[in-house]
Amino acid sequence: MRLSTVTLMCTGVLFACGGRDDHDHPQLKSGADLYNHHCAACHQGSGDGTFLKGVPPVRYTTMTYRQMVHYIQGHGRAEDSRMPTFSAMPKHEAEAIAIYVRRQLNLR
Ligand code: HEC
């Protein structure tokens, strides 16, 4: 199989695996709920990531809480970032998720 075919397939998988940027979910309140809705499809509930899809484990991230909020909002990313920018996500939601990742999932 040629490399370009493999790349195309991976891209397809990444899009298929979520990146849900829908925010009409009043039932989701805690950082854990929000993380599981928006992030876990790629980074997994445990925060271990998905190695085969090139998704890094957020539980080992060295990012601070503030850096992570910016990152979720699409700032400070590589140009070819494959993570959705969540441009429609309210700030308080990104903050709740970042707190959850820092305090609950992070092992550092
Ligand atoms: C479609 C899959 C996908 C979704 C959904 C996703 N990410 Fe990511 N994430 C990635 C990929 C791929 C990377 C690797 C860097 C890149 O491509 O931008 C990444 C990188 C990261 C990093 C950087 C890790 C580090 O230490 O460098 C953090 C933090 C992160 N994601 C948090 C989140 C959070 C929080 C959410 C939910 C709001 C989320 N991601 C949703 C795919 C995803």
Distance CA 84, CA 72 (A): 8
More confident residue, 91 or 2: 91
d(CA 18, CA 15): 6
Query: pLDDT tens for residues 84-105?
Result: 999 889 999 999 999 999 998 9
How many other CB atoms sit within 10 Å of the CB of residue 58? Answer: 26
Question: Which atom number of ligand 1 is nearest to the Cα of residue 89?
Answer: 38
User: Domain range holding 94?
Assistant: 3-105
Question: Is pLDDT of 49 > 90?
Answer: yes
How many domains does one find in the chain? 1
Q: What is the residue with the minimal CA distance to atom 40 of ligand 1?
A: 39
Residue owning the nearest CA to atom 16 of ligand 1: 81
Please tell me the pTM assigned to this model: 0.85
Query: Could you tell me the CATH number of the domain that includes residue 94?
Result: 1.10.760.10
18: three-class secondary structure by DSSP: coil
Q: Write the CB contacts of 9 (distance below 8 Å, at least 6 apart in sequence).
A: none
d(CA 16, CA 19): 8
